[in-house]
Amino acid sequence: PTTDQLTSEFKTNQLPATITLSNSSGAKMIVQKIKSQKTNVSLQHLMPGLYLLTVEKQGSTEVIKVVKK
Protein backbone atom coordinates (compact mmCIF):
# COMPACT_ATOMS: atom_id res chain seq x y z
CA PRO A 1 0.00 0.00 0.00
CA THR A 2 1.00 3.60 -0.59
CA THR A 3 -0.22 6.91 0.78
CA ASP A 4 0.95 9.70 -1.48
CA GLN A 5 3.47 8.64 -4.12
CA LEU A 6 4.52 5.80 -6.36
CA THR A 7 8.13 5.25 -7.41
CA SER A 8 8.93 3.39 -10.61
CA GLU A 9 12.37 2.19 -11.66
CA PHE A 10 13.34 0.97 -15.12
CA LYS A 11 16.48 -0.32 -16.78
CA THR A 12 17.85 1.88 -19.56
CA ASN A 13 16.91 -0.69 -22.22
CA GLN A 14 13.25 -0.57 -21.05
CA LEU A 15 12.85 3.14 -21.84
CA PRO A 16 10.80 4.91 -22.93
CA ALA A 17 7.88 3.42 -21.03
CA THR A 18 4.32 4.54 -20.35
CA ILE A 19 2.46 4.12 -17.07
CA THR A 20 -1.30 4.42 -16.74
CA LEU A 21 -3.09 4.40 -13.40
CA SER A 22 -6.78 3.50 -13.64
CA ASN A 23 -9.45 3.37 -10.96
CA SER A 24 -11.65 0.33 -10.32
CA SER A 25 -14.16 1.59 -12.91
CA GLY A 26 -11.47 1.71 -15.60
CA ALA A 27 -11.19 5.50 -15.77
CA LYS A 28 -7.64 6.67 -16.46
CA MET A 29 -6.49 8.85 -13.56
CA ILE A 30 -2.82 9.29 -14.55
CA VAL A 31 -1.02 8.70 -17.86
CA GLN A 32 2.68 9.45 -17.90
CA LYS A 33 5.48 8.77 -20.37
CA ILE A 34 8.64 7.72 -18.56
CA LYS A 35 12.00 8.77 -19.96
CA SER A 36 14.26 8.41 -16.90
CA GLN A 37 15.27 5.32 -14.96
CA LYS A 38 13.61 6.45 -11.70
CA THR A 39 10.35 8.39 -11.58
CA ASN A 40 8.05 9.48 -8.74
CA VAL A 41 4.32 9.87 -9.41
CA SER A 42 2.18 11.84 -6.96
CA LEU A 43 -1.02 10.14 -5.80
CA GLN A 44 -2.00 12.86 -3.33
CA HIS A 45 -4.99 14.00 -5.39
CA LEU A 46 -6.50 10.49 -5.53
CA MET A 47 -9.05 9.05 -3.12
CA PRO A 48 -8.08 5.96 -1.10
CA GLY A 49 -8.88 2.71 -2.90
CA LEU A 50 -7.70 0.08 -5.36
CA TYR A 51 -6.07 1.16 -8.64
CA LEU A 52 -4.52 -0.70 -11.55
CA LEU A 53 -1.13 0.41 -12.79
CA THR A 54 -0.47 -0.57 -16.41
CA VAL A 55 3.18 -0.44 -17.45
CA GLU A 56 3.98 -0.57 -21.16
CA LYS A 57 7.64 -1.01 -22.08
CA GLN A 58 9.41 -2.33 -25.16
CA GLY A 59 6.35 -4.10 -26.55
CA SER A 60 5.26 -5.75 -23.29
CA THR A 61 2.49 -4.81 -20.88
CA GLU A 62 2.29 -5.51 -17.16
CA VAL A 63 -0.64 -4.74 -14.82
CA ILE A 64 -0.01 -4.22 -11.10
CA LYS A 65 -2.58 -3.65 -8.35
CA VAL A 66 -1.94 -0.53 -6.26
CA VAL A 67 -3.71 0.20 -2.96
CA LYS A 68 -3.81 3.83 -1.85
CA LYS A 69 -4.51 4.38 1.85
Which tens digits make up the pLDDT trace of 34-67?
Answer: 999 999 999 999 999 999 999 999 889 999 999 9
Sign of the four-CA dihedral 43, 55, 65, 38: negative
Which tens digits make up the pLDDT trace of 5-19?
Answer: 999 999 989 999 999
DSSP string, 8-60: EE--GGG-SEEEEEEETT--EEEEEEE-SSEEEEE-TTSPSEEEEEEEEETTE
How many C-alpha atoms does 21 have within 13 Å on its Cβ side? 19
